[in-house]
Structure 1
């Protein structure tokens, strides 16, 4: 998948979530979805932002599929969680569900990667092996690092949503998690350089005899 499409799928819905929450929600969404007893959450804008987040996520996934005819596994799984936990948030008027979503998604990714390592498999290799060639040791190291990073993201999400305001948590998702992820990915460059398998040079054609 082209990098700009992958970035749009992952970051686009978060931008929508942040903007709608920052505008204290959208009245038309509030009138459409607000259940009885959900006034406080509507005043925060989180209820409407959750609905917009779900719609933006679905639009991003459909657009990615139309353009590329395939979807990355992680954004797809994350999108399923957004729709499920966002739906629970809207139906039950309880913001806890959408706030728990990043914790559960990152924990799931970490468990899958750790489980693969325990069974002798580096599960990042089938996902990214077509884009980069690494030694088996390189794939194991990369998989372990990402598994630990996903645990860190889950812990950070728990700390932030349980101890700070909703607006801070929403901002942290866009301006905290995204930059951290990009920085972590960039920090793996030395590993790629050390463990990358060089493709053999093409043989030169024989020189014709004079």
Structure 2
């Protein structure tokens, strides 16, 4: 098993969030342009989506080299980006890349639901070391986060089917992550009574 190494948290955030921001910046710069490759014309959005794939893989490679590990979620996200980025380029259809977000959130909701049906919280399994909390607290958080993922999946479907590409890119880049972050902070604040204090955990 590879040794896990700690790195500067700011650098970690840059490597994790940087590719998405790079996609946004590139899209803004080339969104109104058309590009021809192999006799086929591609929109700026599709070119930005395809370029996003190697940017993400390079960032993940650096992260793995520095820390010695990648989470299952990061690996899954990379697979989805590669798969749907490939479909987007192959069929020259931006809808595939937009569907990716729906499928990712839907998959997360499904995984958490499977755990709940077995009386378990996968969140507790991966996050208990970072935030000690009683099992019933983890179950509550898992149920709420499952509903949040379902909501985000539905909202993404509504956004990409009814709104402009510009609107989708902005919501995908900033709206969804901010909404999820605010939701998590709100939940952690509400679940304070379930947290395990150090002296309590030592008993």
Scaled to the shorter chain, the TM-score interval is 0.7 to 0.9
Q: Are 2:16 and 2:60, in contact at CA under 8 Å, matched by a contact in 1?
A: no
Give the structure-1-normalised TM-score: 0.84
Matches within 5 A, 1:18-167: 18-24=24-30, 30-31=35-36, 34=37, 36-37=39-40, 39=41, 41-42=42-43, 45-167=44-166
Evaluate the alpha carbon distance shift between residue 9 and residue 115 of structure 1 in structure 2; reply closer, same or farther with a 3 A threshold.
Answer: farther
Q: Do the aligned partners of 1:17 and 1:170 also contact (CA within 8 Å) in 2?
A: no
Point out where structure 2 has 5 or more consecutive residues left out of the alignment: 1-5
Could you tell me how far 1:6 is from its partner in structure 2? 4.8
Deviations 1:139-186 (A, max 9, x none): 101111111111111011101100111111111111211211211121
Rounded to whole Å, the distance in 1 between the matches of 2:108 and 2:201 is 39
Q: Deviations over 1:12-52 (max 9, x none)?
A: 1211111111112598x945xx3554x3x42xx11111112
**Larger RCO, structures 1/2 (Cα 8 Å, 6+ apart):** 1
Match of 1:208 in 2: none
Using structure 2 for the length normalisation, give the TM-score: 0.87
Asked if structure 2 preserves the Cα contact closer than 8 Å seen for 1:113 and 1:143, the reply is yes
The aligned residue for residue 3 of structure 2 is none
The CA distance in 1 between the partners of 2:138 and 2:35, in whole Å, is 47
Q: Which runs of 4+ in 1 moved over 6 A?
A: none
SS of structure 2 residue aligned to 1:200: helix
Write the distance in 2 (CA, Å) between the matches of 1:161 and 1:26.
18
Q: Deviations over 1:99-139 (max 9, x none)?
A: 10000010000000011001111011111111111101011
Larger radius of gyration: 1
**Residue 178 of structure 2 corresponds to residue 179 of structure 1:** yes
- Residues 124 and 6 (structure 1 numbering): CA distance in 2 closer, same or farther, change over 3 Å? farther
Distance 1:55 1:102, change over 3 A: same
Tell me how far apart the structure 2 counterparts of residues 102 and 143 of structure 1 sit (CA, whole Å).
20
SS in 2 for 1:155: helix
1:13 equivalent in alignment to 2:26: no
Matches of 2:112 and 2:12 in 1, distance apart? 21
How far apart, CA to CA, are the structure 1 residues paired with 2:110 and 2:102?
12
* Counterparts in 2 of 1:26 and 1:61: CA distance versus 1, 3 Å: farther
Greater mean alpha carbon deviation, residues 54-63 or residues 107-116: 54-63
TM-fit CA distance, 1:10: 3.7
